[in-house]
Amino acid sequence: MAGIIDGKRLADSIRQEIAASVNEFYKTYGERPCLAAVLVGEDPASQVYVRNKVRACEQIGIRSESYHLSAGATEAELLDRIEHLNSSNNVDGILLQLPLPASISKMKALDTISPAKDVDGLHPINVGLLVQGRAELIACTPSGVIEALRRSQVSMTGKSAVVVGRSDLVGKPLALLLMQENATVTVCHSRTQNLQHVVSSGDIVIAAMGKPAFLGPDFIKEGAIVVDVGTTVLKEESEVSRIFGTSSRKWEDFQQGKTVLAGDVHPAAYERASMYTPVPGGVGPLTITMLLKNTLRAAQLRRR
C-alpha cells in the first residue's frame, strides 16, 4: 500500500520552526517581519486566498498588512502602491495576489516588486539567481515540493524526475530545484510526444498541469513517488463520476453541494506509487508555509 506524504502534518511542523525563528528575530531586532498583501478586484477566490495567508502570518507571529484596490484601479495606481511598499522600512515582503484584471500587465506589476521583497520568487533577478543555484527567495510551491520530499526521506540524487508542466510558477523553477538536488530531470508539456512513455519512466513524477485526473495508472511506474500539484474544483457531475465513481465519498459530497477537488493524477494511479501527495492536503499547505518562510528570510536579509 502506498504511503501518503501528509502535507498538512509537514506544514505544521515547519511552521513551528518558523515561529521559533520569528521569535528570535523579534528578540534581536525588537520588531516582527511584515508581509504586505495586495489584492486588485473582487474575485471571491482571491479574497479567500489572501485571508488565509494573512491568518497564517498571524498564527506564527508575522505581522501583515492588506491593501485592496478596486476592480477599476488603473495599472499606474497599482504600480504606485507597489513602489510605496518597496520604499517602506516597515514592510519586508510583498505578495501580489493573482490573477489581475485584464487591463493590468501581470509581468509589469511583478517586475515592479523589489527583488528583496519578492516573497513569491517571481522577479527576473530572483529567477536568474535560482538558475545559478544561489537564490534566497524561491517560488513557494516548488520549494514546498522539495521540502516535502526531503522531509519524507526521499533521496533525489541520481533519480529520474519527470515534471509534467512548464509554467513559470511551478514547472520551470521546480525543474531547476530538482537538478540542484542532483536528479536527472525531464520536463513534459502539451506538445511532448509519447507523453505516457516519458512520464512512466520517472522514479519521481510531479504533476503540475491543471488537468484533473489526466495522469492515469499507465503513466506511473510501479513504485514511483508521485507529487500532485494540481488542484481543480470539479463543477460537472460527469467529471466527479469519471474520477471518483458514484459510490465514493466525493460523489456524496458533490451531491450535497460541497466543494470537490481533483488533482492531475487519477486516484487509481496512486495504487502503483510507493508514496504520493493527496489532493487536498498534500502540496497546498506547504505552499503557504513557504510563503511564511520567504517572508522571514526577506526580513533577515534586509536587516543584514
- Catalytic amino acids? 53, 97, 120
Pure H helices in the chain: 7-29, 44-60, 75-87, 106-112, 124-131, 140-151, 171-180, 195-199, 237-244, 249-255, 284-303
Looking up cell 520552526 gives 17
First-last CA distance in the chain: 48
Alpha-carbon separation of residue 97 from 43, 63, 168, 287 (angstroms): 10, 17, 15, 14
Residues in the chain, total: 304
| Closest CA relative to residue 226, chosen from 204, 211, 243, 209 | 204
Phi, psi angles (nearest 5°) of residue 88: -80, 125
Radius of gyration of the chain (CA): 20
User: Can you read off the three cell numbers belonging to residue 183?
Assistant: 536528479
| Closest CA relative to residue 140, chosen from 265, 298, 281, 293 | 293
Coil, strand, or helix at residue 158? coil
Q: CA-CA distance, 88 to 301, in Å (whole number)?
A: 15
